[in-house]
Structure 1
Amino acid sequence: MAITTTRSTARTPPGPSRAAAVSMLMLMNRDRLAMMTGAARRYGDASRLPVGHKTLYFFNHPGHAKHVLADNAANYRKGIGLVHARRALGDGLLTSEGELWREQRKIIQPAFQSRRVAQQADAIAAEGARLVDRLHGRVGAGPVNLVDELTSLTLGVLGRTLLDADLHAFAGIGSDFSAVQDQAMFELATLSMVPMWIPLPHQVRFRRARRRLGRVVDRLVAESRGRADGTDDLLSRLVESTGREADPRVGQARLRDELVTLLLAGHETTASTLSWTLHLLDRHPAVWERVHAEAVETLGDRLPGYADLSRLTYTNAVIQEAMRLYPPVWLLPRLAVHSDVVGGYRVPAGADVLISPYTLHRDRRFWDRPDQFEPDRFAPGASTDRPRYAYIPFGAGPRFCVGNNLGMLEAVLVLAMLCRDLRLTGVPGRPVVAEPMLSLRIRGGLPVTVHRA
């Protein structure tokens, strides 16, 4: 007979004592990944982590992730980090809740339908060719920051595919988004207790960046309104939706929030994924050789198209394995609306709940040699009995990343183009360190030297 866990019989998750709250807060500020992996290793599937004046409930089992993110998703709102990031990002799709989020998702969803994504392959290939040409000009020259180059690429793709705009026209937009992301993570680290008016250097940079991004948004909106061709791009849909607000100032603020969030989230995750993938290929030459050979055989000397996505099977597996080791969405924070029982553990109403794809993707119970880069584990036909929620690089449930298909198309086609034509090697002695921000990026960028393949 099955035994059902009720709230009265549920256990309290283990964890460090409340006296450790200050040291845990310091660890979260210094090394968030170490905090998460250490808790998973010491306490197992569930733990209570006192951080400052808060207590975080960290669940690290696929079944627990399924319950929180999908089965009982209605009981969970956006949690720590994203709630605090609202002060920096406003109420865009990434941070909004309830009816506003549902309306935003309804407006944005059509832009990511399979038919529309397939139509974007040519734009992705054109931006990829632009990147390859730019890097060709650096052959034999000094190191280039690959993260900056990939950020320019993904912003260019985002502008062409979703906004019918040339974002290359806005110099410095990538660094402005970095300043916004830095502020968002500062809000998390300080639990939004530091007033924004205090002239700390990064807060000054954030305010300047936000003003510049506001001007970019205003220009994009003006250009969109000036087009009379009936274009049904995402920007036009957002302009129409926010224009229905009774107070024009509210509509303008909402439009800015939504576009800044879309631009940040839309380019950052793919740039991070490609950065980590190319770093891993540099560390594993045999894998690079296979990606190079597949690209040469599949593409020849032409630009890729949508049909090539299904032909570049090994390249696809490489991207998936890179996202396993370095998932762009490394943490999924939630806030329990009502009390709940997760995997037999009691979660009180109002509790901050954490699910970490980073730790799930490295759990030895579900992955052989989890710290090794082995793309063949994602090869077509590879047998596995892993639970579905052991691998969630794009999140899961109703909040599943709306742009996952476009992101995968972009990552696979661009990686094939880069590996077909170029060999990118890291700078000796330069450490590559993961920096868990809104996405899992490489701290300080990735300097590489460029060689012909």
Structure 2
Amino acid sequence: MAVVDGVGTGIPELAGAPLVGSLFDLKSDSLGTYLRARQQHGDVVRISAGPPGLRAELHCVFSAEGAQQVLASEAANFRKDNALYQEVRDSFGNGLLTSQDEDYLRQRRLVQPLFTRRRVDTYAGAVAAETQASIDAWRGAPGAVVDVAEEMMALALRAVARILFGADVEATVEVVDRCFPVITEYVLRRGYSPVNVPRSWPTPGNQRAAAAMAELYGVCDAIIADRRGAGVEPGEDLLTLLAAAENADDASFDAAELRDQVLVFLLAGHETTATSLAFALHLLALHPEQQDRARAEVSRVLGDRPPEAADLDRLPYLTQVLKEAMRLYPAAPVIGRRSVAATEIGGHTVPAGADVILAPWVTHRHPRYWPDPDRFDPERFTAEAEAARPRYAWFPFGGGPRACIGQHFSMLESVIALAMILREYTFEPVDRDIPVSTGITLRADGPARCRIRPVG
């Protein structure tokens, strides 16, 4: 968080504690604090956090129209320059998630051909294979109870690792599973702290994170070294395609740049999809009528055959279920930017240099766009209902020029996995209320267990 001198013109401020403002509210329940800010003060709210001299001023924008300004129509005024993005950059590299300006444009031009719908559709088989492995493993689940948050995290990691690394998937999954939580916790602690010691100091936290980064980088670098100069054939893994990506204007990725892309794809490619799948299963367990309807659609469309990419368009209700799960549990519940120039949003002036917060968690519950917003209702995502809402009333993949390049891949993976799982098992809730925590992505902060029973 940056400390800024100015405050937004006429922007209402959420009341906080003497001296530290809303610091402890944000630490204990940031999403609840943002919801309360909108409920009490409207669509543009200032939240102060921290003691004098180290106080951060967060300018929160909760409307769909404001989100569109920040992410799309005036995106040049809002940059990824805040402290958290710098910590992600320092730990996971300067890949597509964190790069800016010409670095970002060059990377996007090189990577874009590998994320066309036609190319992404070739990954359907790998997703189906990993999903089938998870389904088979559940046949011996103790007491027929599974934690869907843990299981979907494991499934999504294996799927993205297989697509990235092909035959080297086993060499990476164990290291990523062990090292990512250490690095992520370190990034978050530093990203939200007003003062940090240099990374080079030999503190226990610095040393743990450095060891995890060294191990993770080492595995990626070893696999990358095997790919350099490899010939590319259709259907090969994504890393081989990335290693060969080049054009006349942008040359190609060097080894360090290639590792940066791999790390970002691992980070963004498995945690976000895992969140969507886990909460879709949890919500369907709580709503058996919608679960039965989704399963009936899967049975009617797929029968006993393996799903393929073309089935995405044939499973509209299942897609609506996933979109509604992503509304209630967006994998990126909070998005940060820093303003370059003073900008008027919703009748208020956000000053230059301000930390700007968008909160899909809040906008996705805004009663202006979502009647009875806490209710699970996949019918909100019929084509007619979507057309009637503002574009940025729902933005789990961001938007504008920095929209997630992996959006189609995430939907492909989620629809295929959910279809296969529902075809085999019914789900009943064991844990009805699942607390969440906000890290780099949204995660279940406790067990998310369901009782499963074979269909039929």
SS in 1 for 2:356: strand
Q: What residue in structure 2 maps to residue 247 of structure 1? A: none
Which of 403, 408, 411 matches 1:405? 408
C-alpha contact (below 8 Å) 1:58/1:353 kept by paired residues: yes
Shift of 1:164: 3.5
Q: 1:112, 1:73 → 2: CA distance?
A: 23
Shift of 1:123: 2.0
Which of 432, 446, 449 matches 2:448? 446
Q: What residue in structure 1 maps to residue 399 of structure 2? A: 396
Is 1:266 the counterpart of 2:266? The answer is: no
Which of 236, 239, 247 matches 1:235? 239
Q: What residue in structure 1 maps to residue 64 of structure 2? A: 62
Q: 1:189, 1:368 → 2: CA distance?
A: 34
Letter of the structure 2 residue corresponding to residue 66 of structure 1 = Q
SS in 2 for 1:208: helix
Shift of 1:432: 1.2
Q: What residue in structure 1 maps to residue 4 of structure 2? A: none
Q: 2:202, 2:445 → 1: CA distance?
A: 24
Matches within 5 A, 1:15-414: 15-16=13-14, 20=18, 22-52=20-50, 53-80=55-82, 81-138=84-141, 141=143, 143-170=145-172, 171-191=174-194, 193-196=196-199, 203-225=206-228, 227-228=230-231, 234-239=238-243, 251-382=254-385, 385-414=388-417
Residues 382 and 72 from structure 1, CA distance in 2 versus in 1: closer, same or farther, beyond 3 angstroms?
closer
C-alpha contact (below 8 Å) 1:85/1:187 kept by paired residues: no
Equivalent pairs, count: 438
Which of 409, 426, 430 matches 1:427? 430
C-alpha contact (below 8 Å) 1:317/1:378 kept by paired residues: yes
C-alpha contact (below 8 Å) 1:159/1:165 kept by paired residues: no
Residues 228 and 405 from structure 1, CA distance in 2 versus in 1: closer, same or farther, beyond 3 angstroms?
closer
Letter of the structure 2 residue corresponding to residue 408 of structure 1 = M
C-alpha contact (below 8 Å) 1:20/1:50 kept by paired residues: no
Q: 2:421, 2:195 → 1: CA distance?
A: 41
Q: 1:94, 1:198 → 2: CA distance?
A: 27
Shift of 1:237: 5.0
Letter of the structure 1 residue corresponding to residue 112 of structure 2 = Q
> Which sections of structure 2, spanning at least 5 residues, go unmatched?
1-7
SS in 2 for 1:369: coil
> Residues 161-215 of structure 1, C-alpha deviation per residue, up to 9 Å, x if partnerless?
3444442343242232222222222122214624445677665543332122112
Q: 2:150, 2:205 → 1: CA distance?
A: 20
SS in 2 for 1:133: helix
**Identity level (%):** 37
Deviates more, 1:166-175 or 1:10-19: 10-19
Residues 84 and 339 from structure 1, CA distance in 2 versus in 1: closer, same or farther, beyond 3 angstroms?
farther
Letter of the structure 1 residue corresponding to residue 12 of structure 2 = P
Letter of the structure 2 residue corresponding to residue 68 of structure 1 = V
Residues 294 and 280 from structure 1, CA distance in 2 versus in 1: closer, same or farther, beyond 3 angstroms?
same
> Residues 359-401 of structure 1, C-alpha deviation per residue, up to 9 Å, x if partnerless?
1110111111100001111134447632111111111111111
TM-score, L = length of structure 1: 0.88
Residues 97 and 21 from structure 1, CA distance in 2 versus in 1: closer, same or farther, beyond 3 angstroms?
farther
Q: What residue in structure 1 maps to residue 10 of structure 2? A: 12
SS in 2 for 1:441: strand
> Residues 215-257 of structure 1, C-alpha deviation per residue, up to 9 Å, x if partnerless?
2202220232374455675423544579x9xxxxx95444333
C-alpha contact (below 8 Å) 2:188/2:439 kept by paired residues: yes
Q: 1:22, 1:166 → 2: CA distance?
A: 49
Letter of the structure 2 residue corresponding to residue 349 of structure 1 = A
Residues 104 and 298 from structure 1, CA distance in 2 versus in 1: closer, same or farther, beyond 3 angstroms?
same
> Which sections of structure 1, spanning at least 5 residues, go unmatched?
1-9, 245-249
Q: 1:329, 1:223 → 2: CA distance?
A: 34
C-alpha contact (below 8 Å) 1:394/1:401 kept by paired residues: yes
SS in 2 for 1:367: coil
Deviates more, 1:111-120 or 1:218-227: 218-227
C-alpha contact (below 8 Å) 1:111/1:162 kept by paired residues: no
Q: 1:239, 1:29 → 2: CA distance?
A: 41
> Residues 327-361 of structure 1, C-alpha deviation per residue, up to 9 Å, x if partnerless?
11211111111222222211221111111111111
Letter of the structure 2 residue corresponding to residue 393 of structure 1 = P
Runs of 4+ in 1 over 6 A off after TM superposition: 198-201
